[in-house]
Amino acid sequence: MPRIYLFVLAFVSVISCGSLSFAADKIDYPAKIAAARAGIEELAVKVGNYPQALAEIEKARVSLKKAEQSYDKGRQWMGLGGLKPEAEQEIAHNLQMVDLALVLTGSRAAKGRNEEDAAAVDKQLTLVKDRVKLLEERKQSGDKLRQELQKCETSSKELTTLKADQTKLSAQLEQVTAEKKKLETQNAVLTDEKAALAAQIEALKKAASAPAAAVQTPTPPAAK
Amino acid sequence: MKRLMAGVCCLLVFAAGSACADELKDASDRLQPLTERITKIGAGKSADYLKSQLAAAQETLGAVKAAIAAKNGPVALQKTELVDLQLTIAEAKAAEMEADEQLVLRRAELKKFEAQFDQLLQTGGK
């Protein structure tokens, strides 16, 4: 019996040592899987609420799950002898898929942020364009008003000149009217004088013609 | 009993062979579309920026072809999946770059209008 125990002990020792040395040469998949999980969760927190990025995070989780399943299935009896080669291949592949899915997540999130920024810039652009349009309209309307004002000022100056001319002309008119009145008065006086003179002339003519007639028809002496 | 066991073994071998053949066919079918995608991305305006991604995808595509030649269905499928993801990343990077360029253009336009607005404000509509 003791020989059997010794044999079993020696067998287990050999297997364990072999397994340990084998494991030391091999890649530490549990650590890699844990690191991948930590990477996914870290990025999931940072990535923000972008649906496309979140979908890629889910894909990374699915790949991680596959890697874990491959690891669980691929472990040989009691962990002795490491992983089956095909399981190792699957784990490596799925971990690579996780890494790439995380890269894709970053890219999707960046695109999502870009789209958000673009939407914000578009909104701001619309606002500024509207304001610029409004200011330009005001500027045009101001220009138009200024032109109108300039026209009004010109008209006003012309009006002032015309008023001054009118005042001057009115004064001249008054003067002329006064002179006319004076002349009319003088005219009336002269007309009267003329009429008087005419009457005197007539009277004189009559007076002159009466002695002449008396000379031509002398009175009879008897009548004396 | 022996016949039954032999029959089951034959069935299992056939099923495994059939699954492997399906994987190989699936991988072979996806080769052409993947090659076309690589060509399309390579012809795009972001090709220079995506050189390393395209080179990696080309390399993986070579691995797919090698796995198909070696009749290794599972590896061929895995590598196909990998190329697909690498190309998706390249396309996403191209889209991201385009979005970046658009954003830069929009920001420049906004800056121009803001400058115009400031100028109009300073002149006070004169």
Residue A101 lies in a domain: yes
Residue A216 lies in a domain: no
| Boundaries of every domain in chain B | 2-123
Which of these, A115, A99, A94, lies nearest to A56 by C-alpha position?
A99
Total count of domains within chain A: 1
Best of B52, B89, B101, B118 to mutate (most A CBs within 10 Å, chain A): B89
Residue A224 lies in a domain: no
Q: Is A135 within 8 Å of B85 when comparing Cβ atoms?
A: no
B40-to-A101, B36, B54, B64, B87 alpha-carbon distances in Å:
22, 6, 11, 19, 10
Q: Is the pLDDT of residue A23 over 60?
A: no
The two tokens of residue A181 are 């009145």
Q: Which amino acid is at A173?
A: L
Mean pLDDT over A38-46 rounds to 95
Contact predicate B89/A104, CB 8 Å: yes
Residues of chain B contacting A96 with CB distance shorter than 8 Å: 82
Residue A165 lies in a domain: no
The whole-angstrom separation of Cα B30 and Cα B43 is 20
Q: Is the pLDDT of residue A8 over 70?
A: no
Q: Is B95 within 8 Å of A111 when comparing Cβ atoms?
A: yes
CA distance A103 to chain B (A): 7
Note the pLDDT tens digit of each residue in A66-96.
999 999 998 876 556 678 888 999 999 999 9
By Cβ distance, the residue of B75, B99, B117 closest to A128 is B117
Residue A27 lies in a domain: yes
Residue A36 lies in a domain: yes
Q: Is the pLDDT of residue B8 over 60?
A: no
Q: Which amino acid is at A17?
A: C
Note the pLDDT tens digit of each residue in A140-194.
999 999 999 999 999 999 999 999 999 999 999 999 999 999 999 999 999 999 9
Note the pLDDT tens digit of each residue in B65-118.
999 999 999 999 999 999 999 999 999 999 999 899 999 999 999 999 999 999
Q: Is B89 within 8 Å of A132 when comparing Cβ atoms?
A: no
Residues spanned by the domain of A123: 3-135
The two tokens of residue A13 are 């020792």
Residues of chain A contacting B82 with CB distance shorter than 8 Å: 93, 96-97, 100
Q: Is the ipTM of this complex over 0.85?
A: no
Sequence-distant (6+) residues with CB within 8 A of B114 are: A128
pLDDT at A220: 57
According to DSSP, the residues that pair with A83 across neighbouring strands are A75
How would you write A26-84 as a 3-class SS string?
A: CCCHHHHHHHHHHHHHHHHHHCCCCHHHHHHHHHHHHHHHHHHHHHHHHECHHHCCCEC
